Amino acid sequence: MTDEMTPADHARSIDEARQRLISFVRQCTDTDWRTAPVDGDPRPVGVIADHVAHSYEYLGGWISDLVAGKPVDVNADIVDDLNAGHAGRAGMLTPAEIVSHLGSSGDVLIALISGLEPAQLDLDGGLVRRFAQVAARHPDGHRTEVEAALGRG
């Protein structure tokens, strides 16, 4: 992804990565779903997949705030707190529920990003662009990590 990407390009990249994750989720067995295969990560596959859907929500919130001219405070501690809170709530979700969550939260984020003016990607020193890039890389990063841990990658 380069700095020349338009909002529509970013939206398309996010959707493509989301679709790859949804395909993976649909192929998971019940055993896969309950397994925590990634070394150093206690979350089962289902929680990791729903974490991506949840991240679309907070990334979209931050982008909306930036577009509205509001300051956004983002750091590793804030993201860690969001992730920890999510992990405690997502353990019992089914693959169908997570596919639905990826669909709904992803649709909102994609619509938000595709509706931006190109100059809005550069708000706050390019933070909107970086959030769009994260939203596109995030699903593939987790998917490939889990696939490798399950011996499929």
Q: What is the pLDDT of residues 22-71, one digit of tens each?
A: 999 999 999 998 899 999 988 899 989 998 998 999 899 999 999 999 99
Q: Tokens for 36, please give them.
A: 């925590």
Residue-wise pLDDT for 83-106, tens only, equals 666 556 656 788 999 999 999 999
pTM for the structure as a whole = 0.90
Whether 96 maps to a domain, the answer reads yes
The residue ranking higher by pLDDT, 81 or 68, is 68
* Number of domains making up the chain: 1
The number of CA neighbours under 13 Å toward the Cβ of 85 is 9
Whether 51 maps to a domain, the answer reads yes
Range of the domain at 72: 7-149
Range 130-138 average pLDDT: 96
CATH of the domain at 62: 1.20.120.450
Whether 1 maps to a domain, the answer reads no
